[in-house]
Structure formats: C-alpha cells, structure tokens
Amino acid sequence: MVFWLLISVLCLLWLLTRPFYWVGKGIKFAYPLPFVGNFGETLRGGLVQLGRSLYQKFPDERLYGIHVFSKPGLLIRDPELINNICVRDFDHFTSNSLGSNQEYDSMGGNLLFLHGSQWKEVRSKLSPFFTPAKVKHMLSNVEKSISKATKVLDESSRTGDPCDLGVLLGQITNDVITQSLFGIESDVFEEKSFFKNLAALFFSTKATMMFSLRNVSQTLFKYLRLQSFDLDSFLFLKKIMKEIVEQRREKNMKGADFVQGIIEIMENHKLEGNQEELKYYPDGTRVPKFTFDEMFLQAFIIFMGGVESSATTMTWLFYELVQNQESQDRCRDEILAVVKKNKRSVTLDDINDVPYNLAAINEAVRMYPAFAILSRICTKPIYMSECDLNIEKGTLIMYPTEAVQRDSQYFPDPNTFNPDRFLDGCPPISGVQTTFGLGPRLCLGKSFAIHEILLVVSSLLERYKFEINEKTKVPLERAKTRPINSPSTPLWVNVIPI
C-alpha cells in the first residue's frame, strides 16, 4: 500500500514537471521517460552514447524536442542552427546549462557557471590573460614539465616496462597549468603527491551526479547542501593560492603568472565601494566584487579546464598515433626537420613549419571532443524563423558535438583517423566543429590547449617512438560515468628512445 502510494506521488510529481511540453508545439519530439526524460541513455552508455542516440532519433529534422530529465529542451542537429544559436543570436542564448546557485554552492561563482552581465564582466577581465603573447609566455614552462616526464619515460625504456601514457600526460598538463596559474611547480611526478588526481576528482562520477541532480531539482541540491565538485580538492587549491597571494603581498614580490594578474585585478577593485554590499545588474545577476574568493573560483575553473581536457585529448591523439605508426613517423619527421634547421626543439614560433602535427591535433580534437554534448539556455525569447518556432525563455538547447563531428555527411569515413583531411583544406562548415564550443562563450583556453598539445607532442616525439603494448585494451573503453569523454582503460605503450 505504502509502496503504491509512493509510486503515485512520484508519478504525480513527474506529471507536474511538464513532461509533455512539446506536444502541440509543431515539432517532433522524443518521448520522455519518467524523471530521466530522454537522458536515460546516460545511465547506460555515458554522454557520448547519449549524444549519438539523440542525434539518430530524427535524422531528417533540423531540430526536435527532448526532455533533459524533466526540463524541456531542444536537440539541435543542424550545424547552421548551432551556429546561429551560439554566434548570431548569442544575445538570446547567453547561458549554458551548467550554472549553480552562488548563494549555497561555494563553487557556483566560477566563469563556466556564470550568466548574463556577471559572466560578461568576469569574462572580460579574464580574456586579457589569454592573448597570444600571454599564452606563449605561460607555455614557456612546458619544457620543465617535459624534462620531469622524460625521467619516467627513460626508466620505462630502460626496464622495458610499459608506460601508462594517459597518466603521464595528465601529470604533464597538471604541472604545466600549476606553473602557469600559480607560478609554482607541482609535486605531481612524485609518488605521494597532493596534486595527483586533483583534476580527475573534479571530473568525477560524483560531479556527473551533481550535474544531474541540479538539473532535476535545484531545491533538493540546496536542501542537501551539496557542492558541484569535490570540496577537499577545492579547498586544497584555495589554500595554495591564498598562501601565494599573501606571500607576494607581504614580500612585495611580483610574478609573471595568472596569480599576479589576479592580485592586480583585486587591487584595482579594492577602491570601489562597500565590499559587504551585494549589488545586482538589471538582468538579476550579481555585480562581481573581484574579491579573493571570487577570483579564486576563476583560477579554479581554469585549473580544472586546463588539466583534464587537454590530457584526455592528448591521450586519444597518442592512442591513434600508436596504432598509425605512419602518422606518428610523419609527425616526427616534421618535428626533426625543424630541430635540424633551428638546432633546438619546436617552439610556438615554428607553428607554420609543422602543418601535419597541427592536422593530427585537429583530427583528434574532431574525433574525441572532451565534452560530447554542449548546451545553451534560452535567456531571452526568440522566434526562430528558419524553423518557424517560438523558443521560450528557459528552454534548454543541446547540441551533440561528438555525434556531428562523426557524421559522414561532414567528414567522409568519420571513424578513421586521417589528419590529411585537414591538410587537404577540409572546408570549415560553420557549426560543425564545436569541440571548444562556439561564439562569445567559446572555451577561454582554446589557444592555450592547442599550443600546449603541440609543444608536448613535439617534445615527446622528438625523443621517443611509442608503440602500443599488448596490455592495452583495443579499442580503449570510454568512461561512462564521467562528464568528460575520457578513456576508462589505460593506454599502455612501449617507449623506444630515438
């Protein structure tokens, strides 16, 4: 009796959450299941599988209705519409679906989660850190991280034991971003390391669950006092940054890193008004105060963005290169030609001399986008004339990056790693390549990531040949419960010095 009562209450609750929003709106829609809507596939196969399955629902439609748990959403299939939403009509779609409430989630105020005028203001303060000159400077420390990684690789080649390349690449990106952000070297290559697994913890199964729960009910999320990401890791990073800021202030020291920029932003805003008072823009978002806590959140999201997504992309790239030795040789030949010509390793000044390496990176970025599905929220109602559809404020927009980039319509033989397609002038169709997002909300670290990958890959291929080890499970399995499109099985490689 109690059981049936509970089921009835749950069903009633579900019915009250507008599960059939798209009925009568004049577009096709995928039939939602109770509570999970059309996101049930995530539970079975993760986000990549979900994106692919949603993409296949109505292959002849440009867009259609879905339910993201109980919220009505639109699945955008057509790249032209993706481009319009992210670029042309950005003013109507300024948010993504990731936001959290800053009042109770201590991580809610990071750039990725911000909306409206608050997002615009914070983004405008952070963008100057990512100019080509600043990125080049921040990446000048890559060589230091590589020299630590070579110790691991040399040991592996000496003993003949295979190396788990995915783990090593994670250590490299962790060390690079720690130096770029905080001006310190991490302990990530040591056995007992605080930094190890830090970024992985942020992109954990728990983070996926928190994302899902926030989508189902913000109230429940608040009531249970949940946090978006792992709190211990968050506090660990915060302590580090606090100590660095205090030390610099006390000793009047200056660095050439992100922390220094943050100190300057905080100093400039110190003078403005009462720090206690909360002010709001007309769109209801908070006026930033650029306090330490607020600025730490930005360093935090850059750390998170900077470690795991770049490491994952590189792992997939090496996964392809160890299976396509010809491609690996072509990358290395190009690198060694630069080394011979300039009598030094590849730097960012050589970018025009390594087109095949860049093409290989582009191809890995196409095949393995770190985030399989991206989102926007309609923040201002709009009539979409291309589809004769009124989109209401609050409607979720989902576009399946991975599925579009694996569509043979845009990339012939899409599941084959073929860097040449980018050398042959693969025509960029607007809205098709969205691994880093699109429009004003494009990934802030896109150029940092691409250049970092180029430097790491060229440094490693200059020194070693990598072969797949029999311990590697081919194909690599994908992590199904993480928000990031990462392998869940290790990439074991044999390391042969050049």
* Minimum gap (Å) between residue 304 Cβ and ligand HEM: 8
Neighbours of 177 (CB within 10 A): 30
Distance CA(380)–CA(85), nearest Å, equals 12
Using CA atoms, how far apart are residues 373 and 399, in angstroms rounded to an integer?
6
- Backbone φ and ψ of 160, nearest 5°: 85, 5
Distance of closest approach, residue 174 Cβ to ligand HEM, in angstroms: 11
Is residue 346 near ligand HEM by the rule CB under 6 A?
no
Site string for ligand HEM, 353-372 (x = CB under 6 A): -----------------xx-
Which of 310, 405, 418, 472 lies at the binding interface for ligand HEM (CB under 6 A)? 310
Give the helix ranges, DSSP H, for 324-406.
325-342, 355-367, 401-405
Task: Count CB-CB contacts under 10 A for residue 54.
Answer: 23
Nearer to ligand HEM, 401 or 494 (CB): 401
Comparison of 70 and 485: residue with beta carbon closer to ligand HEM: 485
Dihedral angle sign, alpha carbons of residues 57, 59, 65, 67: positive
Q: Is 448 in the site for ligand HEM (CB under 6 A)?
A: yes
Span interacting with ligand HEM, options 17-25, 234-242, 305-313, 320-328, rule CB under 6 A:
305-313
Can residue 95 be called a binding residue for ligand HEM (CB under 6 A)? no
Q: State how far the Cα of 281 lies from the Cα of 152, in Å rounded to an integer.
A: 52
Region label for 373, one of left (φ > 0), alpha (ψ between -120 and 50) or beta (otherwise): beta
374 scored as a contact of ligand HEM (CB under 6 A): yes
Residues contacting ligand HEM: total by CB under 6 A: 25
Could you tell me the smallest distance in angstroms from the CB atom of residue 367 to ligand HEM?
Answer: 12
Please tell me whether residue 487 binds ligand HEM under the rule CB under 6 A.
no
Other Cβ atoms closer than 10 A to 302: 23
Q: Which two tokens stand for residue 134?
A: 């600043």
The pair of structure tokens assigned to 402 is 């991975």
Neighbouring CB atoms inside 10 A of 88's CB total 14
Dig out the tokens for 10 from the structure: 């749950």
Nearer to ligand HEM, 204 or 485 (CB): 485
Instruction: By CB under 6 A, name the one of 241, 301, 359, 361 that touches ligand HEM.
Output: 301
R_g (Cα) of the chain, nearest Å? 23
Binding residue for ligand HEM (CB under 6 A) from 172, 188, 321, 444?
444
The residue with tokens 């199964």 is 205
The region of 228-236, 297-305, 466-474, 487-495 touching ligand HEM under the rule CB under 6 A is 297-305
Q: Which of 22, 221, 234, 436 binds ligand HEM (CB under 6 A)?
A: 436
Residue numbers 109-128 binding ligand HEM by CB under 6 A: 111-112, 123
Classify 64 as helix, strand or coil.
strand
Which member of 174, 186, 395, 435 binds ligand HEM (CB under 6 A)?
435
Contact residues: ligand HEM, CB under 6 A: 96, 111-112, 123, 301-302, 305-306, 309-310, 313, 370-371, 374, 435-438, 441-445, 448-449
